Amino acid sequence: MTAGVTPDPTPFPLDHLTGRGDGSVPALTVGGESLTYSELEREVGRTAAALLEHGLEPGDRVASWMTKTQLACILPLATARAGLVHVPINPVLKHAQAAHILVDSDAKLLIANQARLGSLAEGEGAGAQLLAFETWQAGVESLPFSSNDPASLAALLYTSGSTGKPKGVMLSHANLWLGAISVAHYLRLSRADRTLAVLPLAFDYGQNQLLSTWAAGGHAIALDYLLPKDVLKAVGRHDVTVLAGVPPLWIQLADADWSKGVGGSLRTLTNSGGHLPETVYWKLRDLCPQAKIHLMYGLTEAFRSTSLDPDLGDEHPDSVGSAIPLAEVMIVRPDGSEAGAGEEGELVHAGPLVAQGYWNDPAKTAERYKPAPAFSEYGGTAVWSGDRAVRGKDGLIRFRGRDDAMIKVSGNRLSPTEIEEAALASGAVREVLALGVKDERLGQAVMLIAVAKDENAEERLRAHLARELPAYMLPKEIVWRDALPVSPNGKVDRAALVKEFA
């Protein structure tokens, strides 16, 4: 499967996007231990050589199931150099979920700490060799740069599995490389940047924190955290300039203590993995007035699609911007034609960032990966996302939600995002999610699952919504929770709440 004709992969200046140069500058810090670029290159080569000592053949899958160790950060590069396919497993997954990924990917080697290996019942590791992280040793020799085909498979990134079993998205060497170049370019990353990588490395958004930083010659600091204050402490300790997050993390950070000058070093904040509530956007603007906030949209099947120019954020905080470099993003009508300005349609992504489909699942691949619309400039295979979006007259894209998440009340199609924004604007809730639940009279009714900010939240919320929304958009029921469930990648797990309530 191809993603169309790949254009000149560097159609923009790359003077500031190179990790080559002074090999003595820091490239990676994990747990207080740092590697310079020269040391990183050496360790990638030694790790690649050590992997091949386990009898692996080109194209074999190597799974890793661990926290952000130095080895976990190096493996995406080392497996690629060795001609192998990396399968990172989120460390928060339990043994049954990890076992599914091992079996589905037919992994030949699993590297994990002894406790995780011990949690696998007999046979759950399928045919994989099990290698304890504690006994890992890099090779004495160093494998040189590879000449692997850029179109060959380099990684399987498994979706969170909130609906059905997780699916492995197939990413080529070119997908990972061009994704890193594109992000480093539009974020204007440079050698002066220090990126705090807090998102899971099994998440494409998380892994790219490393790859895009290294593409620019910057310094990546990998961190596993328990509490939001741990993130802020690390920001201050390392003078972090770039921080990426998903909405649940930003909501927590916006409510954390930023006193004593914490955050003064930040120059770039990025959000993806869901819509950032406008109330949170404005709070972050107040907390970090010097930082540029990039509001983005992406999907694992095409890595990243859009980003909003930070200079437009204050005027258009409801937008996810326009296509990033090397992406073509279209809003498409049901008949395959291009939607007009202000007209809702399906978001379709074409270009060289499009992945190669789902591993070992041609039926699911055919559902999502289809020929690009006739009006596409790239052509080839495109990802038909299933997400609803609108491109305004200003050329900016606004996310409306997944088609299967839309709420239909008395024939009216309601965007859950619109209802959630109105609820957050009340000031009565910290987090909220809107669902459509069955209703004999209306077809569906609106249900809110919310986390209260303080006392009398329901009274304040209902009064605000009654003032701001038409009657058919008002919630029939409000369910209060201490917290909303999140997926292994840190995003709100809408599917889990749909399963529970809808």
Which residues in the chain come in under a pLDDT of 70?
1-22, 160-164, 411, 502
Q: Which residues, 6 or more positions from 33, have their beta carbon under 8 angstroms from its beta carbon?
A: 70
How far apart are alpha carbons 460 and 458 in whole angstroms?
5
Q: Is the pTM of this model over 0.75?
A: yes
Backbone φ, ψ for residue 103 (5° rounding): -70, -45
pLDDT the model gives residue 400: 85
Tokens, residue 124:
């759950």
Strand partners, 408: 413
What is the C-alpha to C-alpha distance for residues 421 and 279, in angstroms, rounded to an integer?
A: 8
Q: Which tens digits make up the pLDDT trace of 53-79?
A: 999 999 999 999 999 999 999 999 999
Asked, colleague to colleague, whether 32-148 and 171-401 share their fold, the answer is yes
The pLDDT value recorded for residue 160 is 60
- Cα separation of 197 and 76, whole Å? 15
Q: Where are the domains of the chain?
A: 32-148, 171-401, 406-501
171-401: CATH architecture: 3-Layer(aba) Sandwich (3.40)
SS3 (DSSP) at 196:
strand
Cα(18)–Cα(10) distance, rounded to whole angstroms? 12
3-state secondary structure (DSSP) of residue 64: strand
CATH of 32-148, picked from 3.40.50.1820, 3.40.50.980, 1.20.120.1200, 3.40.50.720, is 3.40.50.980
With 0-12 / 13-18 / 19 or more C-beta atoms within 10 angstroms meaning exposed / middle / buried, residue 65 is buried
Give CATH superfamily name and number for 406-501: ANL, C-terminal domain (3.30.300.30)
- Taking each continuous run of H as one helix and of E as one strand, the counts in the chain are 13, 25
- Please state the separation of Cα 116 from the chain's center in Å: 24
Task: Give dist(CA 244, CA 271) in Å, integer.
Answer: 6
Contact 112, 134 (CB under 8 A): no
Sheet holding 61-65, edge to edge: 129-132, 109-112, 61-65, 85-89, 153-158, 168-172
Residue-level pLDDT at 404:
72
